[in-house]
Structure 1
């Protein structure tokens, strides 16, 4: 039994509310055009559409994969969730998707019980959901459960793999993720999951009391993938920590919506990283910051 099976079995036996897949895998054989990894969208549907237009995005060929947190706080959360109807759109689960899943019942009614995450969700941009219909909410819940895993592994054109999850990787899950061993994970197992909530990697990387040598010992390069891509923790610019790239650059607060061309980005090097500048409404290319390399 893997570590994940032990965790999921122990917690899942006393929890309810649904399950999500641990992972999905996108081999090169199922790709045709560009694959863009997009930072936390948080309801900024219009900015995404402008960015994709500037990239000459072709939905018949190209794909986007979000780092989670597609909704809340921004101007059009409903339209962002409706994107999950499209065959060219995928996402990993973020903590905001988890709050939705724990606050919306299967029939679309809102669960305002003590055991739900409802109050926390309302305090973090979820109030828009109260203006939507039960039918809409039920469809969004079902679609997230069916289509949105904790991790995506995607194959580049050079055959190397890239890992995507929302906040940071969970060492207990990595053997199954790298081994492409999918299994269902109970929502109850995710309430304190590093995959959805963790900030340890970035906290260590910017801690001035820790020497550079010690940081490299604490944060060795991730094995099993060329690099990993995360959102969750807002930064001014996309930033590398060894071979982990953090791309939540605060689009919902008028900063940048970062998009990574998965075939051209390389750890610690310029290239492959672009962003839609919300203020100037222009597409810009920039070199991600090296916080630790």
Structure 2
């Protein structure tokens, strides 16, 4: 098993006072399409920041380009369930991963797989962004607790490694909120931005906004870019 660095599981960003903060849904190896969407929205990398709900790789043709994107100082993703496969490539369910688009990774030399794993291990599980209107939370799939504070505490001060893994799995995999159309929201946030479940249009349930509109499905989907100040599409 490869050694992974200790990284903060919750990463906080101060308010952007010079440009826009934009969130985007699942990318899945379609960085050219993402770049085109950013250009259409007049994204300015000199002052704007792009926050991603994760699932950067698998399914699309440009998965290796992710390392270049992770080096961009304005690009800030959380870890999605597909990204987590990379972190644990030597212990995960490889058959399930390949079935869900991970074949490209298995063809890489071991040294490159370790390079990807080290880079992806630096991704936080959750991001919080200060805005003039209130705190915005970002995770891949869901906050499985009534309040953001409770989830933050579970991630930062877990009672055990097993408990931490359970919580992280729910954050990266759960679809219960969208499946059940729960509208109670998450306390302590102005809004929570999530992806994971492909939809035709963004869906808001309470203060939880689902923005994976399948930009990685070129024939039928599009990338939703959400302005975190206005909570409107950019």
Same fold (TM over 0.5): yes
CA contact (8 A) 1:43 1:80 kept: yes
Q: Secondary structure at the match of 2:95?
A: helix
Residue number in structure 2 paired with 1:90: 76
State the secondary structure of the residue aligned to 1:152.
Answer: strand
- Which position in structure 1 is the counterpart of 2:134? 160
- Counterpart residue number, 1:208: none
Tell me the number of residue pairs that the alignment of Structure 1 and Structure 2 aligns.
229
RMSD, aligned CA = 2.7
Compare relative contact order (CA 8 Å, sep 6+) and give the higher one, 1 or 2. 2
Q: Deviations over 1:245-288 (max 9, x none)?
A: 001111122211111011111xxxxxx114xxxxxxxxxxxxxx
2:140 is paired with a residue of what secondary structure? Answer: coil
Give the alignment partner of residue 202 of structure 1, picking from 178, 198, 203.
Answer: 178
SS of equivalent to 1:228: strand
Residues in 2 aligned to 1:88 and 1:180: alpha-carbon distance in whole angstroms: 28
TM-score where L is the length of structure 2: 0.87
Cα distance in 1 for residues equivalent to 2:81 and 2:155? 23
- Distance in 1 separating the partners of 2:149 and 2:109: 41
In 2: Cα distance, 1:159 partner to 1:36 partner:
15
Give secondary structure in 1 for the equivalent of 2:137: strand
What do residues 132-179 of structure 1 show as CA deviations (whole Å, max 9, x unaligned)?
343432222112212x111100011x2511000000102188325567
TM alignment of 1:45-194, pairs within 5 A: 45-103=31-89, 111=90, 115-146=91-122, 148-156=123-131, 158-171=132-145, 174-177=148-151, 182=156, 189-190=165-166, 193-194=169-170
Shift in alpha-carbon separation, 1:192–1:145, aligned structure 2, 3 A = closer
Deviations 1:225-256 (A, max 9, x none): 10101000111111101110001111122211
Unmatched tracts of structure 2, length 5 or more: none
Cα drift, residue 55 of structure 1: 2.0
Maintained 8 Å contact 1:22/1:183:
no
Correspondence for 2:233: 273
Which has the higher mean CA deviation after the structures are superposed, 137-146 or 229-238?
137-146
Tell whether the 8 Å contact from 1:34 to 1:62 is kept in structure 2 after alignment: yes
More strand by share: 1
- Match 2:193 to one of 226, 229, 233: 229
Report the structure number with the largest CA radius of gyration.
Answer: 1
Q: Distance in 2 between matches of 1:99 and 1:248?
A: 19
Q: Which moved more, 1:35-44 or 1:73-82?
A: 73-82
Measured in 1, the distance between the counterparts of 2:154 and 2:134 equals 14
TM-score by length of 1: 0.70
Could you tell me which runs of 5 or more consecutive residues in structure 1 were left unpaired when the two chains were aligned: 1-14, 104-110, 206-214, 266-271, 275-293
Output aligned runs, 1:9-48, within 5 Å. Answer: 18=4, 20-28=7-15, 32-48=18-34
Pick closer, same or farther for the CA change 1:33–1:98 going to 2, 3 Å: same
